[in-house]
Structure formats: structure tokens, C-alpha cells
Amino acid sequence: MKHIISALVENKPGVLAHVAGMFAARGFNIDSLVVGRTEDPDLSRMTIVVIGDDRIVEQVRKQLARIVPVVKVQDFVGKPVVMRDLMLVSIAVLPEKRPEVFTLIEMFRGHVVDIGQKTIMVEVSGPETKIEAFIDVCRPYGIKSVARTGTIAMPRQGTGED
């Protein structure tokens, strides 16, 4: 099962290495790991997607909490959360095919951020399933390269767009 673990960590050198090293040393698999600043300059947030049974994820959570500069650990499984992934994708598109691809991009509420002679680069964000779906529909044209941020997440306080 996929778990999204959110860890608030002290913004100090070596913390990412410590977290990544712990995962490697204990044989836990990371699906994605995102680190970024928060509203507090002393703290960063790591969003880690882990696949494993409850027992493994419980150990992941406890081992993370044991790392001294890790301030708080939350597992979002079973809770309503907003999840987002950002992707830049370069698609092989000749000028005559542009209009139909633009239609697809609009359906996925993506943006064209670069147009070349034979390629276009698109920015798409959303839940992982939407990103995967966009890759699938673009595949017939030819995907040159993909860069993705990995998932970030935040618990919901009310309702809204999935």
C-alpha cells in the first residue's frame, strides 16, 4: 500500500543524507522524496511516498522520528489530503500536429512552456493519476523526456478539487 509520509525537519546540512541513508540501510523503498522550504526558515518539509505493509510503514515512521533533526512525522494514509505532482514533459510534435496536442493539453489544464521546431514542452500538475494519464495520451506522439517533482501533500480541512 502507498503511504504518504510528511516529515518536518530542521533546515540543516546532512539531514537529507541522514534520511536517505536510513531508508537505504534498513531496506525501505522510496517511491518519491521531495524536500522544500516551509513558512519557517528553520524548517523544511520532506514528503516521502513509501510502498509497504502497515508494519513496514510503522517502522519507517518510527525510524524517521528517531533522527534527531526530524521534528515531526505524519502518515497521511486514510486521511483526506491534497496530493500534487509537477511534471515537465517534452513531446515530439511537428507543426501540423500542434492543434490536436493543444486540445489535449487544455483538457489536462497544462501549459505549453516551450515550442521548438519538432518538439513542445508542457507543464502539467495534479495528482499522480492525472500525470500518468497525460503521459499515456501523449505517448503516441513520442515522448522525448520527462522530469517530475514527486508528490507533495497537505491534509484537507474541508472539501474541494481532488
Partner 1 sequence: MYTVSSPSAGPAAGSLPRTGAQIIVDALLAHGVDTVFGYIGASVLPLFDRLYDAPIRFVVPCHEQGGCHMADAYARAGGKVGVIIATSGPGACNLVTGLATAMMDSIPLVAITGQVRTDLVGQDAFQEAPTTGITRAVTKHNSIVTDIKDLGRTIYEAFHIASTGRPGPVLIDVPADLEFQKCGGNGAIRVHLPGYKVPRNGHAKQIEEAAQAINRSERPVLLAGGGVITAGASQELRELAAKANLPVAMTLMGLGSFDQRRPESLDMPGMHGAPYANFAIQESDLLIAVGARFDDRVTGKVDTFATKAKIAHIDIDPSNISKTVRADIPIVGDARVVLAALAGCVEYRDRTQWFAQIAEWKRLYPVGYDRKAAGLKPQYVIEELYRRTDGNAVITTGVGQHQVWSGQFYKFRQPRQLITSGGLGTMGFGLPAAIGAQIARPEALVIDIDGDHSFNMTMAELSTAVQNELPVKVCILNNGYMGMVRQWQELFYRKRYAYSHLRNPDYAEFARAVGAAGLTVRSRDEVGPALEQMLRADKPCVVDFHVDATENVVPMVPAGKSLDEMEGLDVLQNAM
Binding region for partner 1 (CB under 8 A): 9-10, 12-14, 17-18, 21-22, 25, 55, 58-59, 62-63, 65-72
Task: Indicate the residue among 22 and 77 with the shorter CB distance to partner 1.
Answer: 22
Kindly tell me which of 68 and 136 has the beta carbon lying closer to partner 1. 68
DSSP string, 122-148: EEEEE-HHHHHHHHHHHGGG-EEEEEE
Nearer to partner 1 (CB atom), residue 63 or residue 119: 63
- Alpha-carbon distance 68 to 91, whole Å? 44
Output the smallest distance, CB 34 to partner 1, in A. 19
User: Toward partner 1, which CB reaches closer, 48 or 93?
Assistant: 48
Shortest Å distance, C-beta 24 to partner 1: 9
Q: How far apart are the first and last CA of the chain?
A: 20
Q: 33 forms bridges with which residues in the sheet?
A: 48
Residue 36 CB partners (closer than 8 Å, separation 6+)? 44, 45, 152
- Phi and psi torsions of 69, nearest 5°: -75, 0
State the nearest-atom distance from the C-beta of 55 to partner 1, in Å: 7
